[in-house]
Amino acid sequence: MEEAAAIRQAQQAAEAAVVAVVRELAQASIKDGVLWSDGAPLTAEHLYARAQYELGEMGFTCPDMIVAGSPDNALPHYRGDGAIKANAPVIIDIFPTSRTTHFNGDLTRTVVVGEATEEVRKMHAAVLQAIDAGIESIAPGIPGEDPHLAVCHVLVDRGYGTTTKGYEGPGGVAQMNHSTGHGVGLDVHEAPSLRHTVRDPLQEGDVVTVEPGLYLLGLGGVRIEDTGMVTKHGFENFTSLTRSLDPRDYL
């Protein structure tokens, strides 16, 4: 399928750009709780430029990518600015568009340079379990809400919350406050949607994201996202990049 091949190529470009960003993070030093590189604080702007360069060399672009440090990445659409803090999660969300085919990819990873806190490690473990649950629930004919509810169930079972009715979880904990996924094609966000109340069935050949996340104001966020295709055998994942919290595992 020509469209699927183009999206897979875009996903490979996203992986290369994420690796380029994580490599910069992994090579940084820590000074006064902030990451430093080449004698200056390592900033979101520098990482954005590094990712854009990598994408540009491959024929892709992503002007609205997210390279967001804590604690402001507790807001899922915060794009990132300023110096990157050590010992705290950094969310990298890259959704490149091909300059030739115009198809998109979509990929998110979260890493910590230094020592992740116990709470962040627990959040990451819950999101890892949730993405697997969402992926395992995907098949032709199932409603778009089923993967979302599978993700919500895992997060609540792990002691967290969501904004989905019936899956609110306890108060004061990290929450997921967005849908589980969306279609990817000529638009980076298109049908089908993986969210509560979406009864439309997934169809063989749909390309969708699965992107659970947890966010806590004052601490930050953790999000992991893969993109792949609905097939008669389930979810064919176009994403091969590690989901590790440790930047060194990307090198």
Q: In this structure, how many other beta carbons lie within 10 angstroms of the beta carbon of residue 172?
A: 8
Question: Is a pLDDT exceeding 80 seen at residue 46?
Answer: yes
CA separation (Å) from 97 to 65, 69, 85, 105, 209?
11, 24, 29, 7, 15
Provide the pLDDT for residue 1.
Answer: 76
| Cα gap 185→48, rounded to integer Å | 23
Residues 118-147: what's their mean pLDDT? 98
Going by C-alpha positions, the residue among 246, 250, 249 that lies closest to residue 120 is 246
Query: What is the value of pTM for the model shown?
Result: 0.98
Q: How confident is the model at residue 155 (pLDDT cuts 50, 70, 90)?
A: very high
Residue ranges and CATH numbers for the domains of the chain are 2-250 (3.90.230.10)
pLDDT tens for 144-153 read 999 999 999 9
Q: Which pLDDT belongs to residue 232? A: 97
In this prediction, residues 65-83 reach a mean pLDDT of: 98
Element (H, E) at 170: none
The whole-number pLDDT of residue 177 equals: 98
Average the pLDDT over 159-170 and give the result. Answer: 97
* Strands annotated E in the chain: 29-31, 34-37, 40-41, 60-61, 66-68, 89-94, 97-98, 107-112, 161-162, 175-176, 181-183, 190-194, 207-210, 213-216, 220-223, 226-231, 234-237
**% of the chain at pLDDT higher than 70:** 100
Tokens for 95, please give them.
């959704």
Q: Once rounded to an integer, what is the mean pLDDT over residues 210-230?
A: 98
Q: Which residue's structure tokens are 């992107």?
A: 211
Q: Is the pLDDT of residue 6 over 90?
A: yes
**pLDDT exceeds cutoff 80 at 78:** yes
Mean pLDDT of 131-159: 98
For the chain, the average pLDDT equals 98
Q: With a cut of 90, say whether residue 174 has pLDDT above it.
A: yes
